[in-house]
Structure 1
Amino acid sequence: MKDIYLLSGFLGSGKTSLLSHLIEQLKAEGLKPAVIMNELGKLPFDSKSVDEDVPIKEMLEGCICCTGAEKMEAQLQMLLEGEEFDVLLIETTGAAHPVEAMDAVLSPYFASRLNMKGIITVADCKRWIDRDKMTPQTRMLFMEQIKHAHLIVANKVDLLSDNEIALVTLQIQGLNNHAPIIQTSNAKLPLKMITNLEATYSSQEIQQAAIGKQLSLSSRLHTFTEPVNKDEFEKWVKELPDTIYRMKGYVPLKGHKNPFLFQYAYGMVQWLPEYIKMNPQIVIIGDQVESIAIIGSAQND
């Protein structure tokens, strides 16, 4: 099982500095890191900061959470099959929504082989103070990156007064009271702060992958033990709470030889036939997904 951390945050917040510090500390602990860097430009400027002995895959000209989902699966496939590593660090673009980035990573192909430890958001404290000067769309994304984090790195506190630091910390905590907030300069985060994020897997046949027991946003891998009725499955999906953001995987349907590829996002469902027998599993992403009763389950997780 490979541990994965998603590094989120706006352009210039300090994600690449954090990445460099974490790589250095992992290597000092005798662990081998691998890196996937998602950049919107044509040239891999940030990747030049990664040592040559660290396996790295790059995704250029496309956000990981938009058209890049298939590219992400390909990069993960190449890393898992072609490289030896202990920990995977994924640095997302500043334009990536953390839920969608998480969705791109948690493919049903790899969910049972990857241990999603959490989303680490680097928040630029100086930019937080000036957030009202942003466009509404930019400000919303900035706040979403903080809201869905499992650990918040309040960076650039050296540029603030003591009163400003206290105010920013209090305001960020009000937006996300689940995640620890670590104040840093130059994104120097101790490694022990991220290794304490724990993802647990159930020993039952139906597995659960909760990102941190005390945190709300989580993922869950569900394995079907028998085919389900398509209409009943769609009815179950439509009755799910708004806190379920994404689902994707392979659903076995009654009357069909192979499971269908199923995707759900923004209240919409999509079915695509598969011509080879895939593992009947879906990945569910949302807030407190462990409490959701899944149709056709012989038992609850």
Structure 2
Amino acid sequence: MSKVPVFVLSGFLGSGKTSLLERLLQECSQRNLTTAVLMNEIGKTDTDGISLTGKSKIIEKLLDGCICCNKKSEVVQCMEKLIALKPDVIFIELTGVANPEEVADSLTEPALINSVYLEKVITLIDAEHILSYNSLFESDRELVKTTRRQIEVADLLIVNKTDLVSESKKQKIYKVLVKQNSTSRVFFSTYSKIDLNTLFHNLKSPQQTIKVKIKGERHDHHKHTPNHSYSRIKSITLKLSSQTSTTEIETFLKKWKSNLLRAKGYLSLGDGTYLMQHVMKRVNWERATYTGDPYLVLIGIELNEEGIKKEWERIVQKASVSS
């Protein structure tokens, strides 16, 4: 089964995410792509979702909190409902205080990892207020950190509401963004208007049909979208059927330093299966009832996939020899 690409729309409150989402849904309709949307609201009342009624027939809503660790089970349930309806593309619009990294983490849960992949993280910037965030939120360091991470992990940065600022301020904003994220493309816009071909040129409709003639008859063959992520946030899944040790795994994780944002997996140790969670420099092991094939997922920015897989192969060979 072909994996479904997921676009994540990030950005602080009022930056224009819903306006962009409406444009994306219109573009998908023109491209004959079936869309699904997961709306994330920080309050208990759905406000943005109402405006999308009729623009996407498949909408799930996650209210009363941002997508984060304590909402992970709800995210998985919502995504499973969307996937079951077989969309071509899924859009997740985050609340303004959510960290896109949490979504990347959720998409690697056992129930989702074989069905979806992260295509792009798009972060919208409020041109009128972005330069004031540090002073506005100086009493809330966690919020400052979140707004920075929204910029740092983005594959595409859209500086919106540029009609409200001067040309000199636009240049200051650009310098700040490049300093925080030198890899992402930066677009300036009003009302979230950008050239959407930038987002879709790597995607092809899975309903594209090739007409093939065989002995005078025509047969339809469907082309499927390749499962290749164009996001800077990469997730790499590694398999290990033999038993290993906590020391071996933790030493392996330390090799990838600051590029590694998170790692998690279900691994077989000497006395059973454990869920391993790695965040920053902390590693936690918890006994699990998971009965599927053991695996480890690394989530990070611009990870050295070749080096990781080469080092992992060494661990796999060592484990198979000792077992």
- TM-score per shorter chain, which class? 0.7 to 0.9
Match for residue 71 of structure 2 among 68, 80, 84: 68
Q: Compute the displacement of 1:228 (Å).
A: 1.7
Percentage of pairs with the same residue: 27
2 CA distance for matches of 1:140 and 1:276? Answer: 34
Q: Contact between 1:65 and 1:96, CA under 8 Å: does it hold in 2?
A: yes
Alignment match, 2:259: 243
Q: Compute the displacement of 1:181 (Å).
A: 0.6
Letter in structure 2 aligned against 1:18: L
Match for residue 111 of structure 2 among 104, 109, 114: 109
Letter in structure 2 aligned against 1:252: S
Q: Contact between 2:107 and 2:117, CA under 8 Å: does it hold in 1?
A: no
Q: Contact between 1:26 and 1:191, CA under 8 Å: does it hold in 2?
A: no
Match for residue 232 of structure 1 among 236, 239, 248: 248
1 CA distance for matches of 2:59 and 2:108? Answer: 19
Q: Compute the displacement of 1:225 (Å).
A: 4.2
Change (3 A) 1:216 1:86: closer
Alignment match, 2:289: 275
Q: Which blocks of at least 5 consecutive residues in structure 1 are unaligned?
A: 199-208
Alignment pair present for 1:296 and 2:315? yes
Q: Compute the displacement of 1:233 (Å).
A: 2.1
Alignment pair present for 1:19 and 2:21? yes
Post-superposition Cα deviations, 1:27-61, rounded to whole Å, max 9, x if no partner, equal: 11100110001111011111111133421111111
Match for residue 233 of structure 2 among 214, 217, 220: 217
Which deviates further from its counterpart, 42-51 or 95-104? 95-104
What SS class does the counterpart of residue 235 from structure 2 fall into? Answer: strand
Alignment match, 1:55: 58
Q: Compute the displacement of 1:186 (Å).
A: 0.8
Match for residue 95 of structure 2 among 90, 93, 96: 93
The RMSD of aligned alpha carbons is 2.4
Alignment match, 1:201: none
Q: Contact between 1:22 and 1:189, CA under 8 Å: does it hold in 2?
A: no
Post-superposition Cα deviations, 1:201-243, rounded to whole Å, max 9, x if no partner, equal: xxxxxxxx8743xx65322122224332333223433555133
1 CA distance for matches of 2:111 and 2:151? Answer: 28
Alignment match, 1:127: 129
Q: Contact between 2:244 and 2:269, CA under 8 Å: does it hold in 1?
A: yes
Q: Compute the displacement of 1:65 (Å).
A: 1.4
Q: Compute the displacement of 1:283 (Å).
A: 1.9
Alignment match, 2:209: none
Change (3 A) 1:238 1:169: closer
What SS class does the counterpart of residue 91 from structure 2 fall into? Answer: strand
Q: Contact between 2:13 and 2:95, CA under 8 Å: does it hold in 1?
A: yes
Letter in structure 1 aligned against 2:240: F
Which deviates further from its counterpart, 93-102 or 28-37? 93-102
Letter in structure 1 aligned against 2:243: P
What SS class does the counterpart of residue 187 from structure 1 fall into? Answer: coil
1 CA distance for matches of 2:200 and 2:270? Answer: 43
Q: Contact between 1:210 and 1:219, CA under 8 Å: does it hold in 2?
A: no
Alignment match, 1:169: 174
Structure number with bigger Rg: 2
Post-superposition Cα deviations, 1:257-297, rounded to whole Å, max 9, x if no partner, equal: xx432222132223333335212222211123224333624
Q: With the length of structure 2 as denominator, give the TM-score of the two structures.
A: 0.80
Match for residue 192 of structure 1 among 190, 197, 218: 197
1 CA distance for matches of 2:229 and 2:257? Answer: 19
2 CA distance for matches of 1:284 and 1:185? Answer: 37
Post-superposition Cα deviations, 1:161-209, rounded to whole Å, max 9, x if no partner, equal: 22222332232122211000111111123321222468xxxxxxxxxx8
Q: With the length of structure 1 as denominator, give the TM-score of the two structures.
A: 0.85
Which deviates further from its counterpart, 98-107 or 21-30? 98-107
2 CA distance for matches of 1:74 and 1:24? Answer: 26
2 CA distance for matches of 1:104 and 1:5? Answer: 14
1 CA distance for matches of 2:194 and 2:26? Answer: 11
